[in-house]
Chain A
Amino acid sequence: CGFQLRDDYQLPPAMQTVSVQAPAFSEFQQVLERRLNLAGAKLDGTQQKSLIIEVLDDTLDRRTLSLSQSGQVAEYEMIYTVYYQLIEQGEVSAQQQVEVYRDYQDDPNFALAKTREREVLVQEMREEAARLLLRQTIAYLTE
C-alpha cells in the first residue's frame, strides 16, 4: 500500500549543525535540543553556517471546556504555544508558531495530585511541540 520505512528523513543540509537560542531558564530549550540530538542534528552554535532556531516565547493558556453540576469548571483545555523564528546565516525568517492542545480534568478533591498530573501533561506537550517544530522546520527548509 505504498508505505515504506521513512529513510529520506536525513535532515536537510541546512540543519546538519543547529543551535537553539531561547530566553533564560527555558525548559523547552532542553526538550528541543534533546529532540534535535535524537534526530541526528549536531548542536553547535560556533559554526557560521549553522541554522539558529530562536525560541522567542512559550506560553501555556487555559480555557474552560465544560462545567460540572455545581457550575464550576469540570474540564480545562490547555493550549501550549511556542513562538520561534529561524535564522540562516543572519537571514531571519518570519515568526513561526506551534500549538499543542490537551484537555485536562479538574478535581478539587485531589488538588495537589492533579497539579502533579498537569506537570506530566505539560512535559508531554513540550515533547509534542518539539516534534512538531522539528517537522515544520524541515518542511520550511525543504520548501
Chain B
Amino acid sequence: AQGREDFDKPIQINAERESFDVAKKVAVFDQNVVIRQGSLSIRADHLEVTRRDDQTDVFTATGSPAVYEQQLDDGSPITAEAEIISYDQSQQLLTLSGNVKVSQENSVIQGSEIIYNFATQQLSANRSEDDADRVTTIFMPKKKSDNQNEPTNR
C-alpha cells in the first residue's frame, strides 16, 4: 500500500527545545520541529508525543500550518497542510484538522477535517457543522488527459 514501508523505519525528531513530562508521559518539542520517518516528514511549530499504555505513541503537531510530506510507492509526492496534524500509531490514523489541504500528483482536497486511514488506505473529508463551506476536491483524471490524443478504443 501507499508508503507502508516508511512505518517500519526509525522516527527521528529534532527541534530547538525539548522537554519531557514524566508524570503524563508526554514529550514536548517546540520551534522548527521536524519529524522524519523514511520518506515521511512533518514540519510543525509544536509537537506533543504521548506514550500510551500499549506502548504506542500518538503524535500531535500544530503549526501555522503544519506540513506533512511523503513519497508514495510510485515516487509521486503527497503533501498536506493543516493547523493540527495528529498520527495515532496503533490505529494507523492520520487526522488533519483546521483548513486542511491535501494535494497529490493530480488532485487537491480542501476541507475543515480530513482523516487518512493507512491500514484501509481510505481518506475521508468532512465538513464540520459550524463551518460554512464544504469540502472541495479538484483532480485531473489521468485517463482523461492521457487519451486526449490516443484514439479512444471502443
Do the two chains touch directly in the complex (Cβ atoms below 8 Å apart)? no
- A-contacting residues of B (Cβ < 8 Å)? none
